[in-house]
Amino acid sequence: MKKLKKTTVGTLAIHLHHATFTRQNQVVFSDLNWQLKPNEQWAIFGEVGAGKTTFLAALAGQLVLRSGTYALEIRNNENLTFNRVDRSSFRTHSALVTFQQQNSFFNYERAFYQQRYQSLESEIAIPTVQEVLAKAATTCTADEINEIINLLQLQDLLPEVLIKLSNGQTRKLQIARALLQKPKLLILDNPFTGLDEKSRTQLKQIIDSLTQQGTQILLATNQLEIPESITQVLWLDQFKIKECFSREDFFKFLPNTRVKEGNSVSSPRPAILLPEKTGKDFEVAVHMENVWVRYQNKVILEAINWIVKKGEKWALIGPNGSGKTTLLSLIYADNPQAFANKIYLFDKRKGSGESIWDIKKRIGFVSPELHLYFRQALTGHEVAATGYTDTLTRPKKLTKERETHIQDHFAFFDRPDLLVKPFLQMSAGEQRLVLLIRSVLKNAELLIWDEPFQGLSPEYIAQAIRLLENYCTPDTTLILVSHYAQEVPDFITNYVYLDAGKVSKIHLNADSTRCI
C-alpha cells in the first residue's frame, strides 16, 4: 500500500465537561465528560442504537449544547500553542463520512429506485464520480487529487454517475471526498460497512497511513475491525459513556462482557407464525441462460448461467463492483435489460406477460441501495408495512392480522420502541432492522437479502439470522449476499461466485468451510 505524503494538517483537541446536548428540545446526551487529546486516535464503540452516530453529530455542532462546556482547540504544526476556537468551526477542521451522508451525493428522494438501471434520461442532474471529486478538491493540486484517486482505486469509476455505483464503491468515494478536504480530524461512521475483504484491508492500511502523516481519526463502529493505529476506545451504551479504554485494555476487557450482553440480546424468542404463501407452485425460482448486461460500451455481466431451484439456499459472493447488485436487479424486476435476456422466474420466461408487480409480490427484498430511498417522514411501523405494497408507500389500511404480525416482529428484536420512532431519526442499524422486518412480512417464496446486516452489531446479526431461519422453510428459496464469512448462515449450502461480471465458480452442497 502506497503511503500518503506527509502533510501539515495540524492537531485538534476536544474537551467535553458535563456537556448536555439536545435535539428538537429533547435531551439525548446528559453530563458527558470526555476529551480527545492531540495525536490520539479514537474508536467509538457500541451496539445498535447506543448513540454512536448521534455522538458524532454532537461533536460536529449539529446538536444544541444546553449546559456544560465544549472546548475545541486547534494547533498548526508550525505553532506549538493551541488556539481555542468556537465549536461552530468544527466542520472547517474535520470531515465526516456516514452512511446517511450518501443521500447528500444525490437526491434519492426525487428519483425512483429502478432509475439506476434505466437510461437515466431525466430532469434530475446526476453527477459523475469525477465531478464529485473535483467539487471537493478546491484546495488540492492535481497530484494530490490523483494520489487519493489511486489510493482508493477509483480510476475506472471516474466517468460513472453516482446512481450506478455499488454500495461499496459509493463508500470509497465518500472517503476520497473527505480526504480531499485535508481535514485535521477524519470522522468515519462504520467505515467498513459494504466493503469486501480486500477493500477492508486496504482501508485499514489507509487509516494507518493517515495517522502516520498527521491526520487524527475518530471512528464509530459496532464491529471489532479496529485498525492498529487506533489508540483509545470509547464505549457508548444507551447514550451514556460506559467506559474509556486504551485499545489494548479494550480487547482484554471485551470477551467476557460481550458474552454476558449477547445472551440477553440473543436469548430465544417465540417463533413467529408465518402467513401462508399465496403464489402458484413452481420448480425453478431463477434460471439464467447466457445473460449479458451492458451499459453503452461497458460490460457489467457476461455470459451468466445460473439455476436456483425451489427451496434452495444460496450465497452470492463477490468483491465490490463485481456485478452482484445488477444480477439481483434482473431477478427483482428492476432492470429492463432482463427482457433482452433469457431469464426464467418461477418457471415463466421474463417478459411473457407478467408485470413487475406480479414478480415483486413473490419476492421479499432488502438491500443497502433500497435503504437510501426511504426519505419520507414515516415511522418504523409505516416503513415495515410497505413490505405489503412492494413500494416505498405504506398501505392505506392493514388487517388486524397484519397489524399483529408487524408488532410481533418488532417484539422479536425486543425493539417495540422502533414502531413509533421516525425512521429518519433512527441509527443506521435501527433502520436496517426495520427493513429486514419489511422484507419478510408477506412470507414470500423467494427472499433476496443483499448485504442485509450492514450497521448491525454481532448480537443483532445473530438474532436476524434466527428470524431468517424461521422463514427459510423447505419451500422458501433464499439468495443472500455478504462480504463476511461469519454472516452466512449454516443452512446456506450453495455458493455462486462473481468476479468482474462473470461466474467464476459454483459450489453446491458445500461444507461449513467459508471462503469469502
Question: Tens of pLDDT along 209-268?
Answer: 888 888 899 999 988 889 999 999 999 999 999 999 999 999 988 765 543 343 344 455
Q: Given this model, what pLDDT does residue 121 score?
A: 41
Between 55 and 89, name the one with better pLDDT.
55
Of the listed ranges 268-272, 308-312, 387-391, 432-436, the least confidently predicted one is: 268-272
- Tell me the three cell numbers of residue 465: 439470522
Give mean pLDDT, residues 178-191.
88
Between 102 and 377, name the one with better pLDDT.
377
Q: Which domains does the chain have, with CATH numbers?
A: 11-256 (3.40.50.300), 284-507 (3.40.50.300)
User: DSSP letter string over 196-216?
Assistant: -HHHHHHHHHHHHHHHHTT-E
Q: In which band, very low, low, confident or very high, does the pLDDT at 80 lie, cut at 50, 70 and 90?
A: low
Which has the closest alpha carbon to 162: 174, 153, 150?
174
Q: What is the DSSP letter of 232?
A: E
Percent of the chain topping pLDDT 70: 86
Q: Given this model, what pLDDT does residue 83 score?
A: 67
Q: In which band, very low, low, confident or very high, does the pLDDT at 283 lie, cut at 50, 70 and 90?
A: very high
pTM over 0.85: no
- Tell me the three cell numbers of residue 165: 455505483
Q: In which band, very low, low, confident or very high, does the pLDDT at 158 lie, cut at 50, 70 and 90?
A: very high
Between 394 and 20, name the one with better pLDDT.
20
Helix (H) / strand (E) containing 437: helix 428-440
Q: Given this model, what pLDDT does residue 284 score?
A: 96
Q: Given this model, what pLDDT does residue 406 score?
A: 96
Helix (H/G/I), strand (E/B), else coil: 413: coil
Between 85 and 405, name the one with better pLDDT.
405
Q: In which band, very low, low, confident or very high, does the pLDDT at 183 lie, cut at 50, 70 and 90?
A: confident
How many angstroms separate the CA atoms of 66 and 60, rounded?
15
How many angstroms separate the CA atoms of 215 and 202, rounded?
17
Q: Given this model, what pLDDT does residue 212 score?
A: 86
- Tell me the three cell numbers of residue 236: 457508548
Sheet hosting strand 284-295, strand order edge to edge = 298-309, 284-295, 342-345, 348-349
Burial 144-161 (b: 16+ CB within 10 A, else e): bbebbbebbbbeebeebb
Q: In which band, very low, low, confident or very high, does the pLDDT at 481 lie, cut at 50, 70 and 90?
A: very high
Q: In which band, very low, low, confident or very high, does the pLDDT at 102 lie, cut at 50, 70 and 90?
A: low
How many angstroms separate the CA atoms of 326 and 329, rounded?
5
How many angstroms separate the CA atoms of 348 and 284, rounded?
9
Give the model confidence (pLDDT) of 396-426 as tens digits: 899 999 999 999 999 999 999 999 999 988 8
Q: Given this model, what pLDDT does residue 1 score?
A: 53
**Mean pLDDT comparison of 135-144, 434-443, 477-486, highest-scoring range:** 434-443
